[in-house]
Amino acid sequence: MELPPSCFQSCLDFCPECGSVLPRPGPRSTVRCPRCAFALHSDDFEGKTIRSAIEFNRLEPAAGRGSDPAPHLEGPLVERRCPRCGHEGMAYRTRQMRSADEGQTVFYTCPHCRFQEKEDS
């Protein structure tokens, strides 16, 4: 069976017609593009080496742990007195911790002593 030639040139990792990633060759004699059904002979992949690598992002130390004794606070400051040290002004952030029909949870952090508290609204 003679396959029609492509009108574009590309490497064997991508379909020369639509640019989709081609599946790895299997036991069949042809490799078909899952998007446009363009076909290549499996013989075209003869001797091709396939390499892959996985790179993980570096794990950042969590707030309050690790070597940084005072992690950078993110979020705006609001006029709220810290119950531990009495400092006026706390940073806050909000999170939707429960279902969407319930209010958000507000987390406050004191920039002076790093005390944290939460308030459900």
- Binding site annotation covers 7? no
Count the Cβ atoms, other than its own, within 10 Å of residue 9. 6
Distance CA 77, CA 120 (A): 18
- Binding site annotation covers 82? yes
Q: State the residue for tokens 């069976």.
A: 1
DSSP 27: S
Binding residues for Zn(2+): 15, 18, 33, 36, 82, 85, 110, 113
Binding residues: 15, 18, 33, 36, 82, 85, 110, 113
